[in-house]
Structure 1
Protein backbone atom coordinates (compact mmCIF):
# COMPACT_ATOMS: atom_id res chain seq x y z
CA UNK A 1 0.00 0.00 0.00
CA UNK A 2 1.38 3.39 -0.99
CA UNK A 3 1.34 6.07 1.69
CA UNK A 4 -0.42 9.21 0.50
CA UNK A 5 0.94 12.68 0.92
CA UNK A 6 -0.93 15.23 3.00
CA UNK A 7 -1.16 17.43 -0.09
CA UNK A 8 -4.64 17.73 -1.52
CA UNK A 9 -5.46 17.39 -5.23
CA UNK A 10 -4.68 21.10 -5.69
CA UNK A 11 -1.30 20.55 -3.94
CA UNK A 12 -2.30 22.53 -0.86
CA UNK A 13 -1.36 21.04 2.51
CA UNK A 14 -4.69 19.72 3.82
CA UNK A 15 -3.82 19.88 7.53
CA UNK A 16 -2.71 23.50 7.30
CA UNK A 17 -5.79 24.37 5.25
CA UNK A 18 -8.10 22.85 7.86
CA UNK A 19 -6.31 24.59 10.73
CA UNK A 20 -6.26 27.91 8.84
CA UNK A 21 -9.93 27.78 7.86
CA UNK A 22 -10.93 26.82 11.42
CA UNK A 23 -8.84 29.67 12.83
CA UNK A 24 -10.29 32.21 10.39
CA UNK A 25 -13.85 31.11 11.17
CA UNK A 26 -13.18 30.97 14.90
CA UNK A 27 -11.61 34.45 14.92
CA UNK A 28 -14.53 35.84 12.86
CA UNK A 29 -17.01 34.39 15.35
CA UNK A 30 -14.99 35.76 18.30
CA UNK A 31 -14.55 39.23 16.77
CA UNK A 32 -17.81 40.63 18.24
CA UNK A 33 -16.38 39.71 21.65
CA UNK A 34 -13.08 41.52 20.91
CA UNK A 35 -11.12 38.33 21.46
CA UNK A 36 -8.66 36.34 19.34
CA UNK A 37 -8.35 32.57 19.32
CA UNK A 38 -4.93 32.72 21.02
CA UNK A 39 -6.18 35.02 23.77
CA UNK A 40 -9.20 32.82 24.25
CA UNK A 41 -7.16 29.62 24.53
CA UNK A 42 -5.03 31.22 27.20
CA UNK A 43 -8.18 32.06 29.15
CA UNK A 44 -9.45 28.49 28.72
CA UNK A 45 -6.24 27.16 30.29
CA UNK A 46 -6.54 29.59 33.20
CA UNK A 47 -10.21 28.89 33.80
CA UNK A 48 -9.41 25.17 33.88
CA UNK A 49 -6.47 25.72 36.25
CA UNK A 50 -6.15 29.20 37.66
CA UNK A 51 -2.82 30.43 38.97
CA UNK A 52 -0.50 28.93 36.37
CA UNK A 53 2.98 30.31 35.82
CA UNK A 54 3.76 31.98 32.51
CA UNK A 55 6.05 29.10 31.57
CA UNK A 56 3.26 26.59 32.34
CA UNK A 57 0.94 28.47 29.99
CA UNK A 58 3.59 28.53 27.27
CA UNK A 59 4.11 24.77 27.60
CA UNK A 60 0.38 24.00 27.52
CA UNK A 61 -0.21 26.22 24.52
CA UNK A 62 2.98 25.08 22.73
CA UNK A 63 4.13 28.67 22.25
CA UNK A 64 7.19 30.69 23.25
CA UNK A 65 7.26 32.38 26.65
CA UNK A 66 7.73 35.77 24.93
CA UNK A 67 4.48 35.20 23.01
CA UNK A 68 2.80 34.16 26.25
CA UNK A 69 3.97 37.36 27.94
CA UNK A 70 2.49 39.51 25.16
CA UNK A 71 -0.84 37.66 25.36
CA UNK A 72 -0.89 38.11 29.13
CA UNK A 73 -0.12 41.83 28.75
CA UNK A 74 -3.08 42.30 26.38
CA UNK A 75 -5.45 40.28 28.54
CA UNK A 76 -4.32 42.03 31.71
CA UNK A 77 -4.89 45.46 30.16
CA UNK A 78 -8.47 44.43 29.40
CA UNK A 79 -9.12 43.03 32.87
CA UNK A 80 -9.27 39.35 31.91
CA UNK A 81 -6.21 38.23 33.86
CA UNK A 82 -4.14 39.36 36.79
CA UNK A 83 -0.49 38.70 37.59
CA UNK A 84 0.19 37.93 41.24
CA UNK A 85 3.56 37.20 42.84
CA UNK A 86 4.34 33.55 43.43
CA UNK A 87 4.07 32.92 47.20
CA UNK A 88 7.41 31.07 47.36
CA UNK A 89 9.38 32.72 44.55
CA UNK A 90 9.29 36.50 44.16
CA UNK A 91 10.92 36.23 40.72
CA UNK A 92 7.90 34.36 39.40
CA UNK A 93 4.29 35.40 38.88
CA UNK A 94 1.12 33.36 38.83
CA UNK A 95 -1.58 34.28 36.34
CA UNK A 96 -5.23 34.32 37.41
CA UNK A 97 -8.37 34.61 35.28
CA UNK A 98 -11.01 37.16 36.29
CA UNK A 99 -14.76 36.61 36.40
CA UNK A 100 -14.98 38.38 33.02
CA UNK A 101 -12.59 35.77 31.60
CA UNK A 102 -14.91 32.99 32.76
CA UNK A 103 -17.77 34.60 30.81
CA UNK A 104 -15.63 34.81 27.65
CA UNK A 105 -14.73 31.11 28.01
CA UNK A 106 -18.44 30.26 28.09
CA UNK A 107 -18.86 32.13 24.80
CA UNK A 108 -15.79 30.39 23.35
CA UNK A 109 -17.12 26.98 24.33
CA UNK A 110 -20.35 27.71 22.47
CA UNK A 111 -18.37 28.88 19.42
CA UNK A 112 -16.18 25.76 19.50
CA UNK A 113 -19.30 23.59 19.24
CA UNK A 114 -20.58 25.75 16.37
CA UNK A 115 -17.28 25.50 14.46
CA UNK A 116 -17.14 21.76 15.10
CA UNK A 117 -20.70 21.41 13.80
CA UNK A 118 -19.77 23.27 10.63
CA UNK A 119 -16.54 21.30 10.13
CA UNK A 120 -18.09 17.92 10.91
CA UNK A 121 -21.23 18.33 8.79
CA UNK A 122 -21.89 15.20 6.75
CA UNK A 123 -19.35 13.07 8.65
CA UNK A 124 -20.65 10.01 10.48
CA UNK A 125 -19.90 9.62 14.18
CA UNK A 126 -17.85 6.51 13.38
CA UNK A 127 -15.75 8.30 10.75
CA UNK A 128 -15.27 11.28 13.03
CA UNK A 129 -14.18 9.05 15.92
CA UNK A 130 -11.64 7.30 13.67
CA UNK A 131 -10.39 10.60 12.28
CA UNK A 132 -9.89 12.11 15.72
CA UNK A 133 -8.12 8.98 16.99
CA UNK A 134 -5.73 9.06 14.01
CA UNK A 135 -5.11 12.81 14.36
CA UNK A 136 -4.21 12.38 18.05
CA UNK A 137 -1.69 9.69 17.08
CA UNK A 138 -0.23 11.99 14.41
CA UNK A 139 0.01 14.84 16.90
CA UNK A 140 1.85 12.57 19.35
CA UNK A 141 4.22 11.37 16.64
CA UNK A 142 5.08 14.93 15.65
CA UNK A 143 5.58 16.07 19.27
CA UNK A 144 7.85 13.07 19.89
CA UNK A 145 9.87 13.90 16.77
CA UNK A 146 10.27 17.50 17.91
CA UNK A 147 11.37 16.40 21.37
CA UNK A 148 14.13 14.29 19.79
CA UNK A 149 15.59 17.25 17.87
Structure 2
Protein backbone atom coordinates (compact mmCIF):
# COMPACT_ATOMS: atom_id res chain seq x y z
CA UNK A 1 0.00 0.00 0.00
CA UNK A 2 1.29 3.42 -0.89
CA UNK A 3 0.55 5.98 1.81
CA UNK A 4 0.71 9.67 0.95
CA UNK A 5 0.31 12.23 3.70
CA UNK A 6 0.24 16.00 3.60
CA UNK A 7 2.05 17.89 6.36
CA UNK A 8 0.02 21.03 7.00
CA UNK A 9 2.97 23.04 8.26
CA UNK A 10 5.32 22.35 5.36
CA UNK A 11 2.81 21.53 2.61
CA UNK A 12 5.16 18.75 1.58
CA UNK A 13 4.00 15.28 0.58
CA UNK A 14 5.51 12.28 2.36
CA UNK A 15 5.35 8.83 0.84
CA UNK A 16 5.72 5.60 2.79
CA UNK A 17 6.08 2.17 1.26
CA UNK A 18 4.68 0.36 4.30
CA UNK A 19 1.53 -1.64 4.75
CA UNK A 20 -0.26 -1.21 8.06
CA UNK A 21 3.05 -0.21 9.67
CA UNK A 22 4.76 -3.38 8.36
CA UNK A 23 8.00 -2.55 6.55
CA UNK A 24 7.69 -4.11 3.08
CA UNK A 25 11.41 -3.99 2.27
CA UNK A 26 12.40 -5.68 5.51
CA UNK A 27 9.71 -8.34 5.08
CA UNK A 28 10.90 -9.14 1.56
CA UNK A 29 14.53 -9.38 2.67
CA UNK A 30 13.63 -11.48 5.71
CA UNK A 31 11.36 -13.87 3.77
CA UNK A 32 14.01 -14.28 1.04
CA UNK A 33 16.68 -15.01 3.65
CA UNK A 34 14.47 -17.55 5.45
CA UNK A 35 13.60 -19.31 2.18
CA UNK A 36 17.20 -19.23 0.97
CA UNK A 37 18.48 -20.67 4.27
CA UNK A 38 15.78 -23.37 4.18
CA UNK A 39 16.74 -24.36 0.63
CA UNK A 40 20.45 -24.46 1.54
CA UNK A 41 19.96 -26.42 4.77
CA UNK A 42 20.79 -29.77 3.08
CA UNK A 43 24.18 -28.23 2.20
CA UNK A 44 24.74 -26.91 5.75
CA UNK A 45 25.05 -23.40 4.36
CA UNK A 46 23.44 -20.03 5.13
CA UNK A 47 22.79 -17.12 2.80
CA UNK A 48 25.48 -15.03 4.53
CA UNK A 49 28.08 -17.77 4.19
CA UNK A 50 27.02 -18.26 0.58
CA UNK A 51 27.62 -14.61 -0.27
CA UNK A 52 31.17 -14.90 1.06
CA UNK A 53 31.79 -17.83 -1.29
CA UNK A 54 30.17 -16.07 -4.25
CA UNK A 55 32.44 -13.06 -3.79
CA UNK A 56 35.53 -15.25 -3.49
CA UNK A 57 34.68 -17.30 -6.55
CA UNK A 58 34.24 -14.06 -8.49
CA UNK A 59 37.53 -12.68 -7.17
CA UNK A 60 39.65 -15.10 -5.20
CA UNK A 61 42.25 -13.88 -2.73
CA UNK A 62 40.47 -10.86 -1.30
CA UNK A 63 41.66 -9.38 1.98
CA UNK A 64 39.22 -9.92 4.84
CA UNK A 65 38.65 -6.15 4.99
CA UNK A 66 37.87 -6.01 1.24
CA UNK A 67 35.41 -8.86 1.66
CA UNK A 68 33.73 -7.05 4.57
CA UNK A 69 33.40 -3.91 2.43
CA UNK A 70 31.82 -5.84 -0.43
CA UNK A 71 29.42 -7.61 1.88
CA UNK A 72 28.74 -4.29 3.63
CA UNK A 73 29.15 -5.86 7.08
CA UNK A 74 31.59 -5.39 9.94
CA UNK A 75 35.03 -6.96 9.69
CA UNK A 76 34.30 -8.99 12.84
CA UNK A 77 31.17 -10.45 11.22
CA UNK A 78 33.16 -11.37 8.12
CA UNK A 79 35.85 -12.98 10.24
CA UNK A 80 33.27 -15.21 11.96
CA UNK A 81 31.79 -16.24 8.60
CA UNK A 82 35.27 -17.06 7.31
CA UNK A 83 36.02 -19.06 10.49
CA UNK A 84 32.96 -21.25 9.89
CA UNK A 85 33.72 -21.71 6.20
CA UNK A 86 37.37 -22.46 6.87
CA UNK A 87 36.48 -25.12 9.47
CA UNK A 88 34.41 -26.89 6.80
CA UNK A 89 37.05 -26.67 4.09
CA UNK A 90 35.40 -24.07 1.85
CA UNK A 91 38.00 -21.33 2.28
CA UNK A 92 41.55 -20.92 3.44
CA UNK A 93 43.35 -17.91 4.84
CA UNK A 94 46.83 -17.08 3.68
CA UNK A 95 49.14 -14.33 4.85
CA UNK A 96 49.12 -11.34 2.52
CA UNK A 97 52.60 -11.16 0.95
CA UNK A 98 52.32 -7.36 0.72
CA UNK A 99 51.07 -6.79 4.28
CA UNK A 100 51.90 -9.25 7.05
CA UNK A 101 49.12 -7.79 9.22
CA UNK A 102 46.48 -8.91 6.70
CA UNK A 103 45.15 -12.21 5.48
CA UNK A 104 43.83 -13.02 2.07
CA UNK A 105 40.99 -15.48 1.72
CA UNK A 106 40.79 -18.10 -1.01
CA UNK A 107 37.90 -20.31 -2.06
CA UNK A 108 38.74 -24.00 -2.31
CA UNK A 109 37.62 -26.24 -5.20
CA UNK A 110 34.91 -27.56 -2.85
CA UNK A 111 33.56 -23.98 -2.50
CA UNK A 112 33.52 -23.50 -6.26
CA UNK A 113 31.25 -26.54 -6.60
CA UNK A 114 28.96 -25.26 -3.87
CA UNK A 115 28.63 -21.86 -5.59
CA UNK A 116 26.94 -23.67 -8.48
CA UNK A 117 24.28 -24.86 -6.01
CA UNK A 118 24.02 -21.34 -4.55
CA UNK A 119 23.55 -19.82 -7.99
CA UNK A 120 20.79 -22.31 -8.81
CA UNK A 121 19.13 -21.54 -5.47
CA UNK A 122 19.26 -17.79 -6.11
CA UNK A 123 17.41 -18.31 -9.41
CA UNK A 124 14.83 -20.53 -7.68
CA UNK A 125 14.17 -17.95 -4.95
CA UNK A 126 13.90 -15.20 -7.59
CA UNK A 127 11.43 -17.33 -9.57
CA UNK A 128 9.27 -17.78 -6.46
CA UNK A 129 9.46 -14.08 -5.51
CA UNK A 130 8.79 -12.83 -9.02
CA UNK A 131 5.91 -15.18 -9.88
CA UNK A 132 3.13 -13.39 -11.72
CA UNK A 133 5.02 -10.11 -12.10
CA UNK A 134 5.58 -8.94 -15.69
CA UNK A 135 9.23 -8.51 -16.74
CA UNK A 136 8.66 -4.82 -17.45
CA UNK A 137 7.38 -4.24 -13.91
CA UNK A 138 10.37 -6.11 -12.48
CA UNK A 139 12.79 -3.99 -14.52
CA UNK A 140 11.12 -0.78 -13.32
CA UNK A 141 11.09 -2.00 -9.72
CA UNK A 142 14.75 -2.94 -9.84
CA UNK A 143 15.64 0.50 -11.19
CA UNK A 144 13.65 2.22 -8.45
CA UNK A 145 15.17 0.03 -5.71
CA UNK A 146 18.69 0.65 -7.01
CA UNK A 147 18.02 4.38 -6.88
CA UNK A 148 16.69 4.11 -3.31
CA UNK A 149 19.77 2.14 -2.26
CA UNK A 150 22.02 4.77 -3.83
CA UNK A 151 20.11 7.59 -2.10
CA UNK A 152 20.39 5.88 1.28
CA UNK A 153 24.09 5.08 0.88
CA UNK A 154 24.76 8.68 -0.12
CA UNK A 155 22.85 9.93 2.93
CA UNK A 156 24.88 7.62 5.20
CA UNK A 157 28.17 8.71 3.65
CA UNK A 158 27.24 12.36 4.19
CA UNK A 159 26.69 11.93 7.93
User: Where on the TM-score scale, by shorter chain, does this alignment land: which range?
Assistant: over 0.9
Q: What corresponds to 1:147 in structure 2?
A: 157
Q: What corresponds to 1:20 in structure 2?
A: 30
Query: Structure 1: how far apart are the matches of 2:74 and 2:26?
Result: 20
Tell whether 2:104 aligns with 1:94. yes
Tell whether 2:138 aligns with 1:128. yes
Higher relative contact order (CA 8 A, sep 6+): 1
Tell whether 2:76 aligns with 1:66. yes
Runs of 4+ aligned residues of structure 1 deviating over 6 Å after TM superposition are none
Query: Structure 1: how far apart are the matches of 2:78 and 2:21?
Result: 33
Distance apart, 1:139 and its partner CA: 0.6
RMSD: 1.0
Q: Which has the higher helix share?
A: 1
Q: Which runs of 5+ in 1 are unaligned?
A: none
Q: Which of these two proteins has the greater Rg computed from alpha carbons?
A: 2
Q: Which has the higher strand share?
A: 2
- Shifted more, 86-95 versus 74-83: the winner is 86-95
Distance apart, 1:87 and its partner CA: 1.1
Q: Which runs of 5+ in 2 are unaligned?
A: 5-12
- TM-score under structure 2 normalisation? 0.90
- Output aligned runs, 1:25-64, within 5 Å: 25-64=35-74
Distance apart, 1:4 and its partner CA: 2.7
Query: Structure 2: how far apart are the matches of 1:92 and 1:11?
Result: 44
